[in-house]
Structure 1
Amino acid sequence: MEDELGLSDQDSDAGSEEVLTPAELISKLEEAWLNEKFAPELLESKSEIVECVMEQLNHMEQNLQRARQGDLKISFHHMEIERIRFMLSSYLRSRLLKIEKFFPHVLEKEKSRGEGDPPHLSPEEFAFAKEYMTNTETLLKNVALRHMPPNLQTVDLLKCVPKPNLDSFVFLKVKQAQESILVEPETDDQSEYTIDMEVGSQHLIRYRTIAPLVASGAVNLI
């Protein structure tokens, strides 16, 4: 895993690339995996990281095929490949489960995003979400035509399918120090207050409060 990989940096000027070592790339995959696993909503697509990791896995497997049989390092490299494959498949599976669970809201959010905003769906995920919604609408329409009166045959999926619960609580670890984070009261008797977050500190807090920090990479969910 000695090669460096180029990953376009969305926070830098257009066309620039962030050069990552394989270890840094896998670290980014792990962050994306944990964030997606613990966030109640679908996060920004990390398709470039996924593509780079898949390329790196192919490179590692090719190196193993050329390695001498009996080399003790082979078993360790096999374990590392399996670990990476597990994170990658778990990350993609978490995203597909959220798309299935919240598909009308996911598509509506993607439709309403501003020009230049990063997509929350990869092209493949977008196609899957559209097909899933079409199949669901067809199924509900057929059921309604058979069993429901005419005035109840139209179904608004945005109203019927629950939204992600952004008020759920999450654990996080701070990567970049934050000052005066506004925290909403948990009861009517409390008032709003602010907190400071030091690098390396861990917190349990409402997701809605720190969602922008997760998106920017200032904090990681754990």
Structure 2
Amino acid sequence: MEEELALSDQGSDAGSEEVLTPAELISKLEEAWLNEKFAPELLESKSEIVECVMEQLNHMEQNLQRARQGDLKISFHHMEIERIRFMLSSYLRSRLHKIEKFFPHVLEKEKSRGEDDPSLLSPEEFAFAKEYMTNTETLLKSVALRHMPPNLQTVELLKCVPKPNLDSFVFLKVKKAQESILVEPETDEQSEYTIDMAAGSQHLIRYRTIAPLVASGAVNLI
């Protein structure tokens, strides 16, 4: 019998919870993993999903220890555990890679977000990003003091580190039908236009155009 898990609904009133089956939880992890993998920027932290999945993995491993030796189902459960672990570790690695690559912009966006806006970073990721930035600044200052003239010893990381390329193109699948999505022209000769996206349809489109839809869960990157 499947055990249901309670996941806080960040888009609703404080204290509300969404009750998920283990299968629904793993589906949410897969969506978060693929979105993070294919989005050019760091997305909102899904730390609650990560914590629930880790709890579920522990529960599954405990069940395996109690299973009868020789049961054919054991190998299938082992494969499922490894699949979930792969998605979870790949999701976390993708996020760490983006934090390292875009750290000043990630921290600046986190600092400027509204009080009611969801956090980009988990507490652990925020601590990592701050430490990474401090270490980078210390290294650059050390190099600049030894090799650069005084007027070039100040380094502005926000200008030196490239931003995420939001104009890159991504593949997506529509979960909820969308109407009148404004698409920016690719050349100066073209004018803006709108498109409708039916539920279940797939598209190749500029990420900037659909970034809010990824954040809201209306579309999934694939």
TM-score by length of 2: 0.99
Q: Distance in 2 between matches of 1:153 and 1:103?
A: 20
Q: Distance in 2 between matches of 1:155 and 1:221?
A: 36
1:196-220 per-residue CA deviation (whole Å, 9 max, x = no partner) reads 0000000000000000000000000
TM-score by length of 1: 0.99
- What SS does the corresponding residue of 2:136 show, helix, strand or coil? helix
Displacement of 1:188: 1.1
1:21-79 per-residue CA deviation (whole Å, 9 max, x = no partner) reads 00000000000000000000000000000000000000000000000000000000000
Displacement of 1:11: 1.7
Who is 1:102 aligned against? 102
- What SS does the corresponding residue of 1:12 show, helix, strand or coil? coil
Who is 1:61 aligned against? 61
- What SS does the corresponding residue of 1:166 show, helix, strand or coil? coil
1:94-149 per-residue CA deviation (whole Å, 9 max, x = no partner) reads 00000000000000000000011000000000000000000000000000000000
- What SS does the corresponding residue of 2:44 show, helix, strand or coil? coil
Q: Distance in 2 between matches of 1:148 and 1:10?
A: 48
Q: Distance in 1 between matches of 2:2 and 2:79?
A: 17
Q: Distance in 1 between matches of 2:16 and 2:215?
A: 20
Displacement of 1:14: 1.4
Where do 4+ consecutive residues of structure 1 move more than 2 Å?
none
Q: Distance in 1 between matches of 2:112 and 2:11?
A: 21
Displacement of 1:10: 1.3
Unaligned regions of 5+ residues in structure 2, if any?
none
RMSD over aligned CA atoms reads: 0.6
Displacement of 1:189: 1.2
Displacement of 1:184: 0.2
Matches within 5 A, 1:68-83: 68-83=68-83
Who is 2:137 aligned against? 137
Who is 2:32 aligned against? 32
1:139-165 per-residue CA deviation (whole Å, 9 max, x = no partner) reads 000000000000000000000000000
